[in-house]
Structure 1
Amino acid sequence: MVFEVAAAMALASFVGEAVSPWSLLCGLAALLVLWAASHAAERYWLRPRRLGRALRAQGLSGTAYRFPAGDFSENVRLSQDAQSKPMSPPCHDIVSRVLPHIHNTVMEYGEVCITWFGPIPRVVIARPELVSQILSNKSGHFEKFTNNSLGDLISRGIGSLDGEKWATRRRILNPAFHLEKLKGMLPAFSTCCAEMVGRWESKLSAAGGSHELDVWQEFPNLAGDAISRTAFGSSFEEGRRIFLLQVEQAERVMNAFQYMYIPGYLFLPTENTKRMKAIKREVEGLLRGIIDKRERAMADDDGGNDLLGLMLLSNRASDSGQRMSTEDAIEELKLFYFAGMETTAALLTWTLLVLGMHPEWQERAREEVLGVFGSDDTPSFDGLSRLKTVTMILNEVLRLYPPAVTMNRKTSKETQIGGITYPADIVLEMPIILLHHSPDLWGDDVLEFKPERFAEGISKATKDGRPGFFPFGWGPRICIGQNFTLLEAKMALSMILQRFEWRLSPSYAHAPCTVLTLQPQHGAQIMLKCR
């Protein structure tokens, strides 16, 4: 029928006959169907098999492509099975629970192997020298891989940019995280921590000396409050609403992510997609109102003492290439909320849980903090910089429980890595947690909590000095907020150690799982008491 209509139209055009509107409509519909079928065949059948053959011809092995969802069903099955059974603390052998499909694939096919996310081939790379090469990106052939449809719902900030646009944005934002700026943020950190510690003391007083506390419910609020103050200054109350919305958005994005291999999924009017779009509009509206208020206040003041002020000051630059629009500022603030809150909350949560499992290290950290600050003094910047034991503990927690368990990059053009030539648009998945738990890098005691690994710094922590510690990435795109997170974590941990002791609660179930970041599936319950 399609070809008959197309032929009739061509013949009518040739002999000068008038084509009826109905015939024209049928012809256009037929062409549209042909185009859609051709596009689907290329995306879901021809291209995956073409790329799979090109990779396997060079010696790579891995899972076979299964139309149309690839390894998705198996990934879901393994994850659900892993998450159905908690572990027994203090077991830190969590890779098979957190990334079961990637773990199994690497065990079966090697440290460089093929997996499939829908019709997209993902090459898993679990060799540290290759990971550092990719993240360093000296060739310029690797770019961020993000799902634009879902990523835009959280942020289109610096984390999703590439090339000159990324470099320009990084130059504008870098000063906000310089040493002097971080020193200026310390009072905001201490205020937030003091309020949290005060709430905990009130709960203990009411409970008569010992109280069960779920710190996973506490630390996101602390981190969101700190970000609100440091990003917006006096507007932190308005920021709390944004923080709550971004938390909900992250959960909904994870729910939607499992259906992204279905074309046009986000256009379906499901309850989840409608709510995600509504959250996006509300967050952007709130941020726009805060920005408008700050711009009016900056008429008589430079306003550059926080992240928002710094971004708005860039609009006054004479060089148009150094400016950020209001829309750019909104996206960066959304990213700062999401990434800063998630990372800091996860780090503090796992730190308290691990120190509850290893009370000897909790006591060593407390002795150091009390030796530097006493039991009442507010921690100072210089004092926090001298906390060697606390720093070692935080690094070892980041090794065992990194906030981001895997990172992705995409080849922008044909390029060679480790003797394999990868075509353009191949996704490279780097399971950071596999490297952090590799006995080849860290020794046979890799699964033990041993902060002394970092006694001589990060560069000498692995057994042979190879780069193998990537909790904040590596190379030019290393997380811009790394020092912000570590300073806030040191401040919070120091003030908690000054006032409290804790152990794991009997109700705690050790069940790490990934919801964008590495989180405790059933909460993080500890038994808290005053010193």
Structure 2
Amino acid sequence: MCIGLKVDKKITLEKGAAPHSTSGSNIITEASGLTLLSSSLSHRKMETTATIILILLILVLILAWRVLNWVWLRPKKLERLLREQGLKGNPYKLYVGDLNEILKMRKEAKSKPMSLSDDIVPRVFSYFQNSVNKYGKNSFIWFGPIPRVTLTDPEHIKDVLNKINDFPKPNTNPLVKLLATGLANHEGEKWSKHRRIINPAFNLEKLKIMLPIFFKSCDDLVSKWEGMLSSDGSCEMDVWPFLQNLASDVISRSAFGSSYEEGKRIFQLLQEQGELVMKVFLNVCIPAWRFLPTTTNRRMEEIHRDIKASLKDIINKRERALKAGEATNNDLLDILLESNHKEIQEHEKNKNVGMNLEDVIEECKLFYFAGQEITSVLLVWTMVLLSRYPDWQERAREEVFQVFGNQKPDFDGLSHLKIVTMILYEVLRLYPPVIALTRTVRKDVKLGNITLPAGVQVSLPTVLVHHDCELWGDDAKEFNPERFSEGLLKATNGKVSFFPFGWGPRICIGQNFSLLEAKMALSVILQHFSFELSPAYTHSPTTVVTLKPEHGAHLILHKVNT
């Protein structure tokens, strides 16, 4: 019995142990499940990592392909297409193209003293002239990985400047846009809208109203110069900064109703920005380079913010005055804002109509920059050339006295200054403010017997065309205003061989403003002074956005006895 009981107990104990055994099995099962789950998660993690790596690899390959296409495949394809058209140029060099040679030639040309000559192309446009001499008038150069076809045929130039949709302006380095954008850079509908809104500010009737402003600035300049004369009625000076200040004063008064002194800081900042822009412009644009905190980039952004803040303050004050019904100054800004409000009211339902604050700021920057740059360089080269050709200076002075005597020049009289106009045209021919225009080709386009593929750019070398002996005669590189004695049409034989302000639909909107200001300034100066080159004068035309005298314009002024 005892044995039996023992056995039973054993059996009982074994049966009692069964629950514990089941629990252990569950633990093992759960552990196995966790292991499988962990393995599954690890597998999924590996799959996700592999997917991310694959995506990154694809993105890297796409980026590598795009870079390869940008710096090599596309340029080589364009080069082949251009050569098939009979165009010639240097073989493409990876990424830099001809830029190193362009910069090297520019540096060499500037390092050498220039003779007192109007044949300025070898100094200011050396590489392009060399390319044309080597490969012909319809040749191409490499501006980085982009081929730029040089066009000198007036018919080709006419087509390019007329067909603004086929030949838009190229996308420039974004840092260059910090200088000024506005109407000069817009395309398509935005350009049409801005041109329509701004046009009223530059019609002749408005310019007539601004003539007293022009005279006031010129009279202030004459007073400064008279105060600098010695006892014998003469004075030696660098007239270049004075002419810059004059043009700045005129645009400041006529555009914003303020004097040069009030806008002086803006002009100084714009001048610095222009120098930085040229520094950037002559380098190949590397994507995202503008986001790097380089010294140049930081300074350009700082100037941009500073100018923008100043102009924003001016514009907001005018907007408030306009809404309050206060009397307007009748200057360019007021006319622009009134025209803009009219545009918005006429098309209330269209959200994209009119210009916003940012648009107005950019147009104001363009007023400031173009208004100061173009007229000041026109005036300084006019004074330099009339110093070198005293017979033409005397002819111009005689005409001014014949029309105005000692009186203040008026609009009708300025419109009838034939000799002064001839002189200004000849100065613009020999020393165009902007020495070349660039356009881009976004789709294949036929130009004469040439088919230009999408992706190339075209260069219209203003200074080369203006100095072309085939177009202007054997004396093309000499100062001879007589060629314009019968007007522009006769001088150019109806060809587009003279385009200092551009041509076609996009001709500079401020052309009449600049020429009227130059006529007024030259007339007032001739009424009071004769002038000649100083021994200190160094002939040094150079391009810093516009064509300027690198070492100034040192002249000797003499008081005119009337």
Which TM-score applies when normalising by structure 1? 0.93
* Number of aligned residue pairs: 515
| Map of 1:248 onto structure 2 | 272
Please say if 1:159 is aligned against 2:188.
no
Correspondence 1:382-401 to 2 at 5 A = 382-401=412-431
Deviation at residue 303 of structure 1 after TM alignment = 3.1
1:353 to 370, 375, 384: 384
Partners in 2 of 1:267 and 1:86 — Cα distance? 39
1:258 alignment partner in structure 2: 282
Cα gap change, 1:146 to 1:392, in 2 (>3 Å): farther
1:148 Cα deviation (Å)?
4.4
Find the counterpart in structure 2 of residue 425 from structure 1. Answer: 455
Which deviates more from structure 2 when the two are superposed, residues 519-528 or residues 316-325?
Answer: 316-325
**Partner in structure 1 of residue 257 of structure 2:** 233
Contact in 1 for aligned 2:176/2:280 (Cα 8 Å): no
Shift of residue 265 of structure 1?
2.5
> Match for residue 131 of structure 1?
157
Partner of 1:221: 245
Q: Does 1:34 align with 2:61?
A: yes
Give the C-alpha shift of residue 315 in structure 1. 2.7
Whole-angstrom CA distance in 1 between matches of 2:262 and 2:509: 24
What fraction of aligned residue pairs are identical, expressed as a percent?
51
- 2:511 aligns with 482
Counterpart of 2:204 in structure 1 is 179
Separation in structure 1 between the aligned mates of residue 285 and residue 258 of structure 2, nearest angstrom: 43
1:234 Cα deviation from its structure 2 partner: 4.2
Letter in 2 for 1:19: M
Instruction: Tell me how far apart the structure 2 counterparts of residues 86 and 136 of structure 1 sit (CA, whole Å).
Output: 39
Cα deviations across residues 120-179 of structure 1 (Å, max 9, x unaligned)? 1101111111111111117x3111124140332012201111111111111111111101
- Taking the aligned partners of 2:536 and 2:377, their CA distance within structure 1 comes to 19
Match of 1:497 among 511, 522, 526: 526
Higher mean displacement: 105-114 or 301-310: 301-310
Query: d(CA) in 2 for partners of 1:325 and 1:236?
Result: 27
**Are 2:150 and 2:459, in contact at CA under 8 Å, matched by a contact in 1?**
yes
Contact 2:146 2:455 (C-alpha < 8 Å) held by counterparts: no
Mind listing any 5+ residue stretches in structure 1 that lack a counterpart? 1-11
Instruction: Give the Cα separation in 2 of the matches to 1:224 and 1:20.
Output: 67
The answer on 1:18 being equivalent to 2:45 is yes
Residue in 2 that maps onto 1:102: 128
State the secondary structure of the residue aligned to 2:284. Answer: coil
Q: Verify: 1:119 aligned to 2:122, yes or no.
A: no
Whether 2:365 is the aligned partner of 1:334: answer yes
Shift of 1:412: 2.8
Question: Which residue number corresponds to residue 190 of structure 1?
Answer: 215
Q: Within 1, Cα distance between the matches of 2:442 and 2:255?
A: 34
Secondary structure of the corresponding residue to residue 522 of structure 1 = coil
Query: How many Å apart are 1:482 and its aligned residue?
Result: 0.2
Asked if the contact 1:172/1:322 (under 8 Å) is kept, the reply is: no
Matches within 5 A, 1:271-420: 271-298=295-322, 299-301=324-326, 303=328, 305-313=330-338, 314-316=340-342, 317-318=344-345, 319=347, 320=350, 322-375=353-406, 377-420=407-450
Q: TM-score, normalised by structure 2?
A: 0.88
CA distance in 2, matches of 1:200, 1:129: 46
User: AA paired with 1:180?
Assistant: E
1:17 Cα shift?
2.6
* AA partner of residue 523 (structure 1): G
Distance 2:99 2:266 in 1: 32
Mapped partners of 2:489, 2:326: distance in 1: 43
Distance 1:415 1:114 in 2: 16
Q: Tell me if structure 1 keeps the 8 A contact 2:155–2:496.
A: yes
Q: Structure 2: which amino acid aligns with 1:109?
A: Y
* C-alpha distance in structure 2 between counterparts of 1:23 and 1:322, whole Å: 51
**Structure of greater Rg:** 2
Tell whether the 8 Å contact from 1:404 to 1:432 is kept in structure 2 after alignment. Answer: yes
Q: Which runs of 5+ in 2 are unaligned?
A: 1-38
2:482 matches 1:455? no
CA distance, structure 1, for counterparts of residue 543 and residue 521 of structure 2: 24
Q: Which residue is 1:269 aligned to?
A: 293
Q: Which residue of 2 aligns with 1:88?
A: 115
- CA offset digits 1:413-453 (Å, max 9, x no partner): 21100211112232100101111111111111112211111
CA contact (8 A) 1:48 1:121 kept: yes
DSSP 3-state at the match of 2:147: strand
Q: 1:65 aligns with which of 92, 99, 103?
A: 92
Q: Is the 8 A contact 2:173 2:285 kept in 1?
A: no
Matched-pair contact (CA < 8 Å) for 1:119–1:261:
no
Q: Secondary structure in 2 aligned to 1:19?
A: helix
Indicate the SS of the match to 2:119: coil
